[in-house]
Structure 1
Amino acid sequence: MTTESAILVVRAAQMLAEMCAEVGDVEGVYWATAKGLLAVPGHEDLVATRLRLQSDRGDTAALHSEWQAYCRVVAHDPWGQGEPSLKMLSLWRELHANESYPSSTAGSI
């Protein structure tokens, strides 16, 4: 897939996810972001959308699972630093701090 094609897929996924969120279609948000993540694994805006949705739903297990999946992708990205960006770490800390009960999950930051 060319870079332009990947960017187009991600933009379309973001737009569809936003439209789905506006009408309360949670499954649509997951579907759209999943398609975008197929084109660009670990895309921060798409992952952030999914993390926020998990947090808003109060699904701590899914929030941790989503974060761990993102961390695995980042760790194996040949172009990256192997660690989450400061932006994503900040979001994780914010969402993690808002959890209603403590959770111990290996690999969480």
Structure 2
Amino acid sequence: MVKENPDFNSLMYFDQFTMFTGALRYINSKGLQYVLENSNADVNFKPTHGYSALYLAYERGECGVDCVEILLDHCADPSLPVGWDEGTFTEYVTRKNDQQVLRLIEEQEC
């Protein structure tokens, strides 16, 4: 299993991915929930040359909107930059006109 409260943000690959942000491409919603409840993964940490957790879950992840909802429930900040010059996650999904995700952002209680 996973050691108690591992630091998933400290293991970095070329300043693009941490263990946590890299896993967002392949993790399912149950796995993400487990990681967030049993580690110190920072849902708002963005590697220097990487993308935000919300963007990776939404655009590159296998569980998509389900994982975005879990990240938002764990206080992921949609007003943080997506990457280098793409604007915020809220601006990104607004440009895509994704009403489902915009509703999730509006309903966020963090």
- TM-score under structure 2 length normalisation: 0.41
Q: Which has the higher helix share?
A: 1
